[in-house]
Amino acid sequence: MTRSLLTLSTLAAILAVFAVACGSGSGSDGSSNADLLPKVTASDRIFTEDDFLAVGLKKSKTYDVTGLTGATSAIYGFWKPDGTEPVDYEIRFYPSHQEAVSSGTFFADEVTGPDGAVAEDDVTWNEGTRDRRTSGFTFGGGGGSLAVKYADYIIHSNVIMLCQGRDSVQS
């Protein structure tokens, strides 16, 4: 029982780190979350989908990773910390940190940021494309058109996590 509680506590702390890295807003001292944690961090820990589900991530979909070079799996879901709105995440798993960086960075860059692709015809891996976009206000301020849902991402250990937000600071 104690070991199980320790493991759950450890996983909760890990998800909290991911949440801060993919958090929203800025710190009380005016610094953005982008200033607090690096975008890419190595770790010897190899994460699995179960690690995220164990600490409260709600999985909505499992994606077919055919065409997502190097990935072992990918999921779409949300996390709702107590008292907050749910936040969507796309989490891609790789066999190692090196594989996540070398094979996954291109695919994450392609669908995030102000120039992120939102149409299936414009992306290399189109599984889940509709889940990666939102309607409404775009980066340029116009309304009524499609925009990227994930303004940024992080790579930690063997995981690439696309983070919901209108811009990198909110992501």
- The band of 127, judged by pLDDT with boundaries at 50, 70 and 90, is very high
Amino acid 12: pLDDT: 54
pLDDT value for 25: 41
What's the alpha-carbon Rg for the chain, to the nearest Å?
16
Threshold 0.95, pTM exceeds: no
Taking a C-beta distance cutoff of 8 angstroms, is the pair 128, 107 a contact? no
**DSSP code, position 101:** I
